[in-house]
Chains A and B, each alone.
Chain A
Amino acid sequence: MSGKKQILCLLLAFAALSGCAPQKEASNSANTITVWHWMTDREPAFRELARRYEAKTGIKVRFELYAPSEEYSQKVRAAAQGVNLPDIFGILGEKKDFASFIKAGHVLNLSSYMSADNFKWRDRFYARALAVNEFPSGNTYGVPAGYYAVPIDVMTIQMLYNKELLKKLGSEPPKNLQELLDIGKKIKAAKMQGLVSGWGEIALIDCFANNYAFNIMGKDKVLATIKGRVPYTDPDWIRVLSLFKEMQESGVFANGLVTMINKNAEQLFANGRAVFAFNGSWCVNVYKGMNPNLSYGVMLPPKASDKYPMAIWGGAGSSFMVNARAKNKEEAVKFLEWLTDKEQQAYLSEATNNLPANKESVSALSEVMAQFAKGIDNSTHPNVWGVSEFTPVLEAFDKGIQSIIIGEKTPEQVASEVQKIKMRELAKKK
């Protein structure tokens, strides 16, 4: 036992010694920029770009990966509390969290750089992509107007269909709700699986419901509801909720949709086991990795009403921002300018199968990517509406839709429950 103990003591001493000297690397020198990110798939591409930048300017760029995204957020928030953020980082979450970071003094206002040279930097982006990172004057978040981050890619969320399975059913891609419901019945009869999507989580259900809300009642009414002027018990909202009931009963939805995480949904669609999917443009890379021979197309959700246009969500995919307290601010901004330039964006887009944020880089996009790209200018996103719905209300709404799909509650029940929570939240604000 004594021999083993000695070895253990040695190890402990070694650990103590190696641990006592804090590992401070050359991150404070003026020649290094540190970037924290969560995008595992793009790590190789980022490293290549860092190499190119160093060859060009002599400045070292260190991309540090902290994944998965949930843990990345935790790290960023802890570092913010300890006032220890890196030169460049990103924030995953809602606009109000973004606003809080800005108000706490962690994010650099990029407006002056954007407007330099007659808005040269600003104009190369898709307007929608930049809008997500902008706070217009008079915004409800109390943030001084300006641009606070830059997008490095864009994405849109649309519906996808499996060409072969649809042909087997003898149908064309549905152009309106009725056609979709008819296909649903055929799917049920053929014992196939319909729509798959990550509806175990809130974000994608919310997106789908929202698209139809815009289609049925128009953007203004939706925003008015968020502002509290229209109740959720309004017939138009009940119509939106009822859509889910109709689709479920016609067989449009796949089994187990309400507990699916998006990764499983992607797996099912990639293996040709689902007729439809509801996913974002990042899925192109995913499907290619799982099944390069998949034959599929992209379309807007089939409209339920002709009164207003169908909306889809789109805008910035991932964005980077600069630490306002960094000593390397200027260098960091210069790097971001380079990163969002035409050439680098084209490289990123090709290497990772994502849509570029730079309008001029739309060079050699594959057919499917081009279909996704088509939607960008008509897209919208909660982060550009200028108002946010209360989180408890969103949660009740989206989980309520889950209840409707599993047949536990009626659309009317969910609507009144959501409205109750909305009233409670509004009262709290006063």
Chain B
Amino acid sequence: MRNTAYYNVKRIIVNTAIHSFLLAVAVTCIFPLLWMVACSLKTQEEIFKSMSLIPYGWHFENYYLAWMQGGFGRFFINSIIYTVSVVVGIIIISSMAAYAFSRLQFPGKNILFYMFIAAMMIPIPGSFVPLYVLLNKLHLRNTAIGYILCMINVGLSTSIFLLKTFFDKMPKELEDAARIDGCSKIGIWRHVALPLAKPVLAVVVVFNVLNVWNEYVLALVIFDSRQLMPLQVALTSFQGEFVTNYPLLMAGLTITALPVIIVYLLMQKYIVKGVTQGAVVG
């Protein structure tokens, strides 16, 4: 009797400690989001005068104004197109390459792989300039496809690295089984490797979505046409050279943050499900 009570109390204490810890960290995480939303509902003067998280008057029209003034409609669609294209492109391209580095043989394999790794470590300062000139020569400069290709390159190294690390750990039995069944290499990649890699792919998706969604400078430099600009550019219209329209900026930032949060929510599922556990017999 005493033992059970002891363990119960211990369990409650441990759980409380864990929950307090989780809660404390969660509060620091959610605070900026709340502050952002609170500011988006205030007026410019109120933001500077009051420190409270509760706005005095709830100015929901700021969201409408931000959308209209920033011309969000067009830029939103642009950002979605770029992000989706880049993510789909990267998933296909990097998973194929990672699978090859992990499972296939060909001369120069190691050198090529280390090249990708090295690229993660050597930042190119001012790469905008050579990219600009390069895209110009290829007649791809003021085009969406040029931008998409550049952004695919940005996330390539890390994605390949993450995927190859995973593929190395993947049990070979499933692949052998598929090969015996007459599956081609592409088939194995598509039907065995990719489904197994769902958790890592989810991480790759989130990583690249964030990169592309928040990207700003490259777009500004290589696009001349306002029609091609991504969402982040719309935000700059609230940050004047001298005056920043904080309420609209915060409303804009909130609108900008929402899609990424949604993507993360969707991808979370795959990370949770994890690797198929019962697939390996024994």
Cα(A25)–Cα(B228), bound, Å: 12
Cα(A67)–Cα(B85), bound, Å: 26
Among candidates B49, B129, B142, B146, residue contacting A81 with C-beta atoms closer than 8 Å: B129
Chain B residues with CB under 8 A of A43: 237
Chain B, interface SS category: helix
Q: Mask for B227-246, Cβ within 8 A of A = 1, else 0? A: 11000000011011111100
A41-B243, A286-B243 as given contacts; A19 in contact with B144, CB under 8 Å: yes
Q: How many residues of A contact B (CB 8 A)?
A: 48
Cα(A85)–Cα(B146), bound, Å: 19
Kindly state whether residue A170 has any CB partner on chain B within 8 Å: no
Stretch at the interface among B7-15, B22-30, B218-226: B218-226
Among candidates A15, A66, A271, A289, residue contacting B81 with C-beta atoms closer than 8 Å: A15
CB distance from A157 to the nearest CB of B (A): 13
CB-based nearest B residue for A8: B88
- Evaluate contact between A25 and B129: CB separation under 8 angstroms: no
Question: Which residues in chain B, 16-67, are within 8 Å of chain A measured between CB atoms?
Answer: 44-45, 48-49
- Evaluate contact between A283 and B241: CB separation under 8 angstroms: no
- Evaluate contact between A22 and B237: CB separation under 8 angstroms: no
Stretch at the interface among A71-79, A93-101, A252-260: A71-79
Kindly state whether residue B118 has any CB partner on chain A within 8 Å: no
Chain B residues with CB under 8 A of A25: 225
Q: How many residues of B contact A (CB 8 A)?
A: 43
Chain A residues with CB under 8 A of B82: 15
Chain B residues with CB under 8 A of A40: 236-237, 239-241
- Evaluate contact between B148 and A19: CB separation under 8 angstroms: yes
- Evaluate contact between A23 and B132: CB separation under 8 angstroms: no
Kindly state whether residue A370 has any CB partner on chain B within 8 Å: no
Residues of A within 8 A of B (CB): 8-9, 11-12, 14-16, 18-25, 27, 38-41, 43, 64-69, 71, 74-75, 77-79, 81-82, 84, 263, 266-267, 270-271, 282-283, 285-286, 289-291
* 27 CB < 8 A contacts A-B: A8-B84, A8-B88, A11-B88, A12-B88, A12-B89, A15-B82, A15-B84, A16-B145, A19-B146, A22-B139, A22-B143, A23-B143, A23-B225, A24-B142, A27-B224, A40-B240, A43-B237, A67-B237, A75-B220, A78-B128, A82-B141, A270-B48, A286-B242, A286-B243, A290-B45, A290-B48, A291-B48
Given contacts A78-B221, A289-B44, A289-B243, 11 further A-B contacts (CB under 8 A): A12-B89, A16-B145, A22-B140, A39-B241, A40-B240, A64-B226, A66-B220, A74-B221, A75-B220, A79-B132, A290-B45
